[in-house]
Amino acid sequence: MLKKIIKEYLLRNKLFYFFYKYKKIYKNRGKGIYFGDYAEDVIVNRFFKNLKKGFYCDIGCFHPSKGSLTYLLYKRGWRGINIDLSKTSIDLFNIARRNDINLNAGISNYNGFSNYYECAPHSPYNSLSSSKGFKKKKIEVYTLDAVINKFDIKNIDFLNIDAENNDYKVLLGINFENIRPKMICIEDNKFSFILIYKSKIYNYLKKENYFLFSVCGVSQIYIDNKYKNQLSKILDTRHSTNYF
């Protein structure tokens, strides 16, 4: 309180106020840092700003930093599991994120083997869905539940799904009673809220008690309903209380 009174007093001084204004301009002109294609990780990091030791799962991880929604979390001390169809992608993660679990596999709604379609050895367009002109390869496929059991994962705070037209099937392989991410970001190439509200992904997650929090480009961000009434405090940069 005393600090506030002193500041108000000083601001009435013209010379002090002159330097105060320029300090504010230069102090706050720094660029924000993000790595997601649509800056989705800005939202992710704001939501989890006070969770220092969280766990993420990145399905279709592609690259350790380029376009990554988990790289800033990793730099903050989070750890997680990164999964991709591309062996090259996982080799990159094994170099850049040695403290993570890095898995070369497909994720869907069944366990077994499948063909996947390779655009290039390292490409964000590699997919389990048939694509004309792509090279066909065989790969082991798991449900996310099977991966969770395999690596004895107890909790996922943030789940990112970018599975190139296989995203809905990834959701079907999750038992939300056992593992319940606080936030889910999922790619769904719909640019109209009318289409989003009619989509299988939106209605499935709504049934599982998640609400659509934000749409960033091709990404939709969902949050567990239990945090809905706390969002104003969770997102408020003036508070440092951890609600998780």
CATH number of the domain residue 81 falls in: 3.40.50
Does residue 95 lie within any of the structural domains?
Answer: yes
With 80 as the cut, is the pLDDT of residue 16 above it? no
What is the extent of the structural domain holding 123? 40-234
Does residue 55 lie within any of the structural domains?
Answer: yes
Cα 146 to Cα 107: distance, rounded to the nearest angstrom: 10
With 70 as the cut, is the pLDDT of residue 20 above it? no
**192 Ramachandran zone, left/alpha/beta (phi>0; psi -120 to 50):** beta
Residue type, 150: K
Length of the chain: 244
Does residue 16 lie within any of the structural domains?
Answer: no
pLDDT per residue as tens digits for the range 189-229: 888 899 999 999 999 999 999 999 999 999 999 999 999 99
Most confident of 7-16, 130-139, 222-231: 222-231
Residue type, 107: I
Cα 97 to Cα 79: distance, rounded to the nearest angstrom: 9
- Are the C-beta atoms of residues 144 and 59 closer than 8 Å to each other? yes
- H or E stretch covering 7: helix 2-11
Does residue 10 lie within any of the structural domains?
Answer: no
Residue 235: other Cβ atoms inside 10 A: 13
pTM of the full structure? 0.88
Of 5-9, 98-102, 160-164, 217-221, the poorest mean pLDDT is in 5-9
Cα 236 to Cα 90: distance, rounded to the nearest angstrom: 36
List strand residue ranges (DSSP E) for the chain, in order: 55-59, 79-84, 101-104, 106-107, 112-118, 135-142, 158-161, 183-187, 210-216, 219-224
Does residue 154 lie within any of the structural domains?
Answer: yes
pLDDT per residue as tens digits for the range 53-74: 999 999 999 999 999 999 999 9
Residue of 158 and 8 predicted with greater confidence: 158
Token pair, residue 58, equals 């990145």
Residue of 98 and 232 predicted with greater confidence: 98
With 90 as the cut, is the pLDDT of residue 177 above it? yes
Give the torsion through C-alpha atoms of 186, 190, 195, 201, to 10 deg: -20
Query: Please, which residues have CB within 8 angstroms of residue 15's CB and are 6 or more apart in sequence?
Result: none
**39 Ramachandran zone, left/alpha/beta (phi>0; psi -120 to 50):** left
pLDDT at 67: 94
Does residue 91 lie within any of the structural domains?
Answer: yes
Does residue 5 lie within any of the structural domains?
Answer: no
What is the count of structural domains for the chain? 1
User: Pick from 161, 93, 94: which is nearest to 128 by CA?
Assistant: 161
- Are the C-beta atoms of residues 74 and 96 closer than 8 Å to each other? no
Does residue 23 lie within any of the structural domains?
Answer: no
Token pair, residue 154, equals 């107890």
